[in-house]
Amino acid sequence: MENALPSKEQCTVDEFEQALLVRLSVEPLLREIYSTSRPQKDRWAEKQAKRAELVMAVDAILILCSPEPCLIAVGNGTFRTGLNLASKREYFKTYFAKKARASGYVVVLVDEYLTLSMCPSCGAHDVRSRVPKSTQRLCVCLECGRWINRDSVRAHNIALIAERWMTDQTRLLPLKRPPQPSQL
C-alpha cells in the first residue's frame, strides 16, 4: 500500500485525495486482519493438528504391538536443532516411550553406538566391509553382498542389542563400546 501512495515532498492535491481514498477503502480490511486474534487462532489450530497427527501415529504403532506383549527398543541418540532446542524426533521419542510405558509395554533405551557399522545379516563389523552410496541411504556389505538401507541396519541392530540385553544383560561384541581409560 505504501508504494501506491505519492511521496510527501512532490504531491499534487489530486494525488493526495486519491491516496486518501485508497487508504480509507483499505483501512477497514487491515484493521479486521490485525485487530482480531485470527493469526493466533490459526497458529493454535496448526499446533493442535500437529499434536493430533503425533497422537494418531503413536496410537497406530501401539495397535501393531497390542495383540501380545512385546519389548520396544528405542535408540537413545540425541539430535538437536540449531537453536538449542530438542528436535521433532526427540519429542516423538519421548512421547512414544511415555505412552508405551503407560500402556504396559517394556521400553528399553539402547545406546546407538556403532549400530550402523555392523551388517545384521552376516555380522561383519569392519568399516571396510561396507561400501556406502553417497547419493542414497544404501550401502552394500562386501562380506555377504547384501544391499541394505542404513536406517534399516540401525533399527535391526538396535533390536538385536535389546534382545541380547534382555536375555543375558550383555551387548553384542562387535557393538560394544571400548573401555574408558581410568583416571588416576
Q: How confident is the model at residue 57 (pLDDT cuts 50, 70, 90)?
A: very high
Higher pLDDT, 80 or 142: 142
> Distance between CA atoms of 177 and 91, rounded to whole angstroms?
27
Task: Name the average pLDDT for the chain.
Answer: 79
Q: pLDDT tens digits for 107-126?
A: 888 888 777 777 877 777 76
Model confidence at 7: pLDDT above 70: no
Full-prediction pTM beyond 0.85? no
Q: Name the 3-class secondary structure at 115.
A: coil
> Distance between CA atoms of 26 and 33, rounded to whole angstroms?
11
